[in-house]
Structure 1
Amino acid sequence: MPSVFVRTSGCNLRCTWCDTPYASWNPEGPEMTLDAVMEAVLQHPTRFVVVTGGEPMVAKDMRNFLGRLHAAGKHITVETAGTIAPGDAPVDLASISPKLANSTPSVEKAGAGWAARHEETRLQPAVLREWLEQARDYQLKFVISTETDLQEAQHVVASIGIAVPPEKVLLMPEGVSLEVMRTRYDLLVKACLTHGYRLSPRLHIELFGNTRGT
């Protein structure tokens, strides 16, 4: 789906396999006013806008920005880890990626403070439930590399406390290269066929490789 991507800098997590460290581990990028961002968005013909990060819900005035997109008639997807409540933000599709244990960084990589903070913050079942109940539509997207990850993802879905149709669960192979991702597909395809989940291949890596801006 042709879409305009708005990527915010800053994140309240430090996933060890993060592929956008420039928006999470070491936030960077130009500061822009909401007017400037809206002007850039409106230059594109598509009505689909994906707001991502980092964690977009930590960005200043995010709910105001989402309201302006909504008023402009845009279809809004928010990519979030689901650790910050949506409030009254107008969201057409909440693309929620709850972080599993495989995301927690080592103390050596992130430092003791960030490693502990990530582990304490990464899963918020009550907040996940609020997203599912508030957004017009949603999907739960899990980064999977092993059978253990898959079992943990199923436990997370159950912990939310409401019925989640299996087609709302997307399984994404962990990895930033075709070679690594393709080692995950046997496990993911089998799980999709068995449970009715959906496979979420990383199309941008298939097409462009792990390159910034794709």
Structure 2
Amino acid sequence: MFVAEVFASLQGEGILAGTPSFFIRTSGCNLRCRWCDTPYTSWQPEGRRVSVAELVAAARASGLRHVVITGGEPLLQRELPALCAALKAQGHHITVETAGTLAPEFACDLLSVSPKTANSDPEGVWRARHRRLRENLAPLRLLLQRHPNFQLKFVVQGEQDMPEIVALVDRLGVSGERVLLMPEGKTAQEVAQVAPEVARLCLRFGFRFSPRLHLELFGAGRGV
């Protein structure tokens, strides 16, 4: 697999926020979100080839039950099914984080999908491709059918994002308790500026609030 970094930290987002976890961050992405907080896995992908056996051994050595496979876009990695199977055989709880634009078959305990909305659209040559990929819901529908234990996390800048989010949730037929709104920001300070409004939107629309604990606790940077 093409991997940018592996590290132990607390899960910062979603329904498992605060859970000690071993992270495998793959490198490479088929989207180009303009606010991407890990550009070293998307806009300028960095990393090295790491075997499934090495990753499984590193997860075991961490002593942590929870493993989070993130990116980048992990679903681009052809070794993902083998990695998930090996981690599961070792007794790990597996979260796979994805934008939901691809639908290979793999096994996990929690599918964490971050569907991208218009606030992610980049400028320039990537704009049309990025938009075309994020607007195709067929892979996402298939993923949700295969993985009944899922969460949807949306990056929110403000109330202007809500009509698109509500429409998408309705099209997918997903209950509000599975939907989390997450303040956009690359630093704890930026997140803090948006968080109160996002909290109010959660109350208004009946969605859950997702913190970004890693930024609050450890700051922006790699390996957190």
Q: With structure 1 as the length reference, what TM-score do the two structures score?
A: 0.92
Match of 1:204 in 2: 214
Match of 2:119 in 1: 102
Match of 2:107 in 1: 90
Pair 1:193 & 2:203 matched: yes
Match of 1:49 in 2: 67
Q: Of residues 98, 104, 122 in structure 1, which corresponds to 2:134?
A: 122
Which structure would you say has the larger RCO, counting Cα contacts within 8 Å and 6 or more residues apart?
A: 2
Match of 2:55 in 1: 37
Deviation at 1:27, TM superposition (A): 1.0
**Secondary structure of the structure 2 residue equivalent to 1:51:** strand
Q: Of residues 157, 167, 172 in structure 1, which corresponds to 2:182?
A: 172
Change (3 A) 1:135 1:194: same
Deviation at 1:69, TM superposition (A): 1.3
Tell me, in whole angstroms, the C-alpha distance in 1 between the residues paired with 2:34 and 2:183.
15
Match of 2:10 in 1: none
Match of 1:151 in 2: 163
Please tell me whether the aligned partners of residues 14 and 118 of structure 1 are also in contact (alpha carbons under 8 angstroms): yes
- In structure 1, runs of 5+ residues without a counterpart are none
Pair 1:131 & 2:131 matched: no
Q: Which amino acid aligns with 1:14?
A: R
Where has structure 1 moved over 3 Å in runs of 4 or more? none
Tell me, in whole angstroms, the C-alpha distance in 2 between the residues paired with 1:16 and 1:152.
18
Deviations 1:83-105 (A, max 9, x none): 00142x11110110000011111
Match of 2:85 in 1: 67
**Secondary structure of the structure 1 residue equivalent to 2:153:** strand
Q: How many residues were matched structurally?
A: 206
Tell me, in whole angstroms, the C-alpha distance in 1 between the residues paired with 2:50 and 2:211.
32
Tell me, in whole angstroms, the C-alpha distance in 2 between the residues paired with 1:184 and 1:86.
34
Tell me, in whole angstroms, the C-alpha distance in 2 between the residues paired with 1:45 and 1:196.
37
